[in-house]
């Protein structure tokens, strides 16, 4: 049977915004445009009711991956199958069905909610787009589920009249009002006051269970992902470098990048007003990507030229008895650690 979601070789490159003069110079010199390799060959499967965490530092491509999964970005290459249906080849009707079933919860509810729309209209909009009946009853049920009680009291309120936690609950209710099968949650609590986070997370746990949802959580916070996810995929510079069951990865990380991520302590970032992880060394250039293993410039376990010349593929290694996949040459010599 098909998994709910199958992603194969997903790639998203963005052309660098270079300004008129640079682009004219480039054109006259016959040079190719520069591209940011935001996502570069990501593959995974997600079963019904399963939760997968995408982890990594800012800029590793996890948000672009999440947005591509719900078709908010058109992939540059690769396949996304939803219940066996190839989304790159589906017709309008199938895409419409997919859009009803796949929802996204964003990091900042203040930005993702329209400030000029009441709570009622915010939830009614997707129902009207998809021609779904029993509008008021569905909206009431979704708000009740999100613990915005009594629901009718919120109908006429605008986002600025709500607290941050209430706004994120409205965003969750909006995602649930269509009864989706699949949700992408991008740093869903990182903009919230610490005191409100546990409440919103337990709501999301309940949502996953009661709706039997498949969820992709995106976060830099491994302790949050550990709590919320069955499986983890660790991303570095647009690629997945390690994948497996959450506890296996946290207890016994195998990729050098995963190890440093687990050892890193989150630091407050004044630019974005929240935490980010900070590791030694600079992240490589996402335009002129490093050769071989993209982590080689920062890796403390570098084993030699092969790290710079050959790109390690993400695969199951003989050393591990769990279903771990790791992209690292440390494990490439006939099942023995080099
Ligand atoms: Fe480090 Fe080499 Fe493994 Fe890359 S392939 S993570 S550089 S040991």
| Residue 212: both structure tokens together | 């039997």
Q: Is 330 in the pocket of ligand 1 (CB under 6 A)?
A: yes
At 277 the pLDDT is 64
Task: Kindly report the three-state secondary structure assignment for every residue of the chain.
Answer: CCCCEEEEEEEEEEECCCCHHHHHHHHHCCCCCCEEEEEEEEEEEECCCCEEEEECCCCCCHHHHHHHHCCCCCCCEEEEEECCEECCCCCHHHHHHHHHHEEEECCCHHHHCCCCCCHHHHHHHHHHHCCCCCHHHHHHHHHHHCCCCCHHHHCCCCHHHCCHHHHHHHHHHHHHCCCCCEEEEECCCCCCCHHHHHHHHHHHHHHHHHCCCEEEEEECCHHHHHHHCCEEEEEECCEEEEEEEHHHHHHCCCCHHHHHHHHCCEEEECCCCEEEECCCCCCCCCCCCCCCCCCCCCCCCCCCCHHHHCCCCCEECCCCCCCCEECCHHHCECCECC
Predicted confidence (pLDDT) at residue 273 exceeds the cutoff of 70 = no
Most distant CA pair in the chain, distance: 65
Predicted confidence (pLDDT) at residue 85 exceeds the cutoff of 70 = yes
Q: pLDDT category, 338, cuts 50, 70, 90?
A: very low
Predicted confidence (pLDDT) at residue 241 exceeds the cutoff of 90 = yes
At 321 the pLDDT is 79
At 270 the pLDDT is 62
Predicted confidence (pLDDT) at residue 310 exceeds the cutoff of 60 = yes
Residue 266 lies in a domain: yes
Residue 336 lies in a domain: no
Residue 289 lies in a domain: yes
Determine the distance separating the centroid of ligand 1 and the alpha carbon of 307, expressed in angstroms. 5
Residue 168 lies in a domain: yes
Q: What is the pLDDT of residues 115-134, one digit of tens each?
A: 999 999 999 999 999 999 99
At 336 the pLDDT is 45
Q: Tokens 């207890």 map to which residue?
A: 251
For residue 287, report the phi and psi dihedrals to the nearest 5 degrees.
Answer: -95, -55
At 271 the pLDDT is 61
For the chain, percent of residues with pLDDT exceeding 70: 93
State the total domains in the chain: 1
pLDDT higher for 111 or 189? 189
At 158 the pLDDT is 97
Can you give the pTM of this predicted structure?
0.90
Determine the distance separating the centroid of ligand 1 and the alpha carbon of 312, expressed in angstroms. 8
For the chain, percent of residues with pLDDT exceeding 90: 72
Which atom of ligand 1 approaches the CA of 294 most closely? 4
Distance of CA 72 to the CA centre of its chain: 12
Within 8 A by CB and 6+ apart from 13, the residues are 35, 36, 37, 38, 40, 76
Predicted confidence (pLDDT) at residue 105 exceeds the cutoff of 50 = yes
Q: pLDDT category, 21, cuts 50, 70, 90?
A: confident
Q: pLDDT category, 337, cuts 50, 70, 90?
A: very low
Q: Is 328 in the pocket of ligand 1 (CB under 6 A)?
A: yes
Which atom of ligand 1 approaches the CA of 241 most closely? 6
- CATH code of residue 54: 3.40.50.300
Q: Give the mean pLDDT of 176-184.
A: 96
Q: What is the pLDDT of residues 35-81, one digit of tens each?
A: 888 999 999 999 999 999 999 988 899 999 999 999 999 999 999 99
Q: What is the pLDDT of residues 192-211, one digit of tens each?
A: 888 889 999 999 999 999 99
Determine the distance separating the centroid of ligand 1 and the alpha carbon of 330, expressed in angstroms. 7
How many Cβ atoms sit within 10 Å of the Cβ of residue 32?
Answer: 6
- Mean pLDDT of all residues belonging to the chain: 90
Would you say 184 and 105 are in contact if contact means Cβ atoms under 8 Å apart?
Answer: yes
Residue 338 lies in a domain: no
Residue 182 lies in a domain: yes
At 251 the pLDDT is 93
Determine the distance separating the centroid of ligand 1 and the alpha carbon of 46, expressed in angstroms. 27
Residue 8's Cβ-side half-sphere holds a number of Cα atoms within 13 Å equal to 10
Which atom of ligand 1 approaches the CA of 299 most closely? 1
Q: Write the CA distances from 236 to 57, 162, 163, 209, 257, integer angstroms.
A: 8, 37, 34, 30, 8
Residue 85 lies in a domain: yes
Predicted confidence (pLDDT) at residue 242 exceeds the cutoff of 60 = yes
Report the distance separating Cα 180 and Cα 337, nearest Å: 44
Q: Give the mean pLDDT of 132-154.
A: 97
Q: Is 303 in the pocket of ligand 1 (CB under 6 A)?
A: yes
Q: Give the mean pLDDT of 123-146.
A: 97
Q: What is the residue range of 320's domain?
A: 5-331
Residue among 328, 327, 336, 283 nearest 42 (CA): 327
Predicted confidence (pLDDT) at residue 285 exceeds the cutoff of 90 = no
At 109 the pLDDT is 80
Within 8 A by CB and 6+ apart from 329, the residues are 293, 303, 306, 307, 310, 312, 338
Would you say 11 and 68 are in contact if contact means Cβ atoms under 8 Å apart?
Answer: no
At 274 the pLDDT is 58
At 335 the pLDDT is 44
């Amino acid at each position: 049977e098909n998994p709910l979601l199958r992603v194969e070789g997903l790639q998203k490159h963005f052309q660098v915004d270079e300004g008129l003069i640079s682009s004219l110079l480039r054109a006259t010199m016959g040079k190719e445009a520069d591209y940011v390799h935001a996502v570069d060959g990501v593959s995974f499967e997600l079963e019904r009711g399963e939760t997968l965490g995408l982890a990594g530092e800012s800029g590793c491509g996890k948000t672009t991956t999440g947005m591509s999964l719900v078709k908010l970005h058109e992939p540059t290459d690769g396949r996304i199958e939803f219940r066996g249906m190839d989304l790159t080849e589906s017709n309008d009707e199938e895409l419409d069905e997919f859009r009803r079933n796949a929802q996204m919860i964003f990091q900042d509810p203040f930005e993702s909610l329209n400030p000029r729309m009441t709570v009622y209209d915010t939830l009614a909009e997707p129902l009207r787009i998809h021609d779904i009946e029993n509008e008021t009853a569905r909206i009431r049920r979704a708000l009740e589920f999100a613990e915005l009680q009594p629901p009718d009291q919120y109908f006429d309120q605008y986002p600025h009249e709500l607290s941050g936690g209430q706004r994120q609950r409205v965003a969750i209710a909006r995602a649930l009002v269509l009864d989706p099968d699949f949700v992408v949650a991008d740093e869903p609590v990182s903009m919230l006051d610490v005191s409100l986070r546990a409440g919103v997370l337990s709501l999301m746990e309940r949502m996953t269970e009661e709706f039997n949802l498949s969820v992709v959580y995106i976060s830099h916070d491994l302790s949050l992902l550990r709590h919320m996810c069955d499986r983890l995929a660790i991303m570095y510079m647009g690629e997945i470098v390690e994948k497996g069951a959450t506890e296996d990865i946290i207890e016994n990380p195998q990729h050098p990048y995963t190890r440093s991520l687990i050892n890193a302590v989150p630091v407050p970032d004044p630019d974005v007003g929240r935490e980010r992880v900070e590791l030694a060394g600079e992240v490589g250039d996402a335009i002129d990507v490093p050769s071989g293993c993209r982590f080689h410039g920062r890796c403390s376990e570098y084993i030699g030229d092969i790290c710079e010349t050959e790109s390690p593929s993400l695969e199951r290694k003989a050393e591990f008895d769990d279903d771990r996949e790791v992209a690292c040459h440390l494990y490439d010599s006939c099942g023995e650690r080099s």
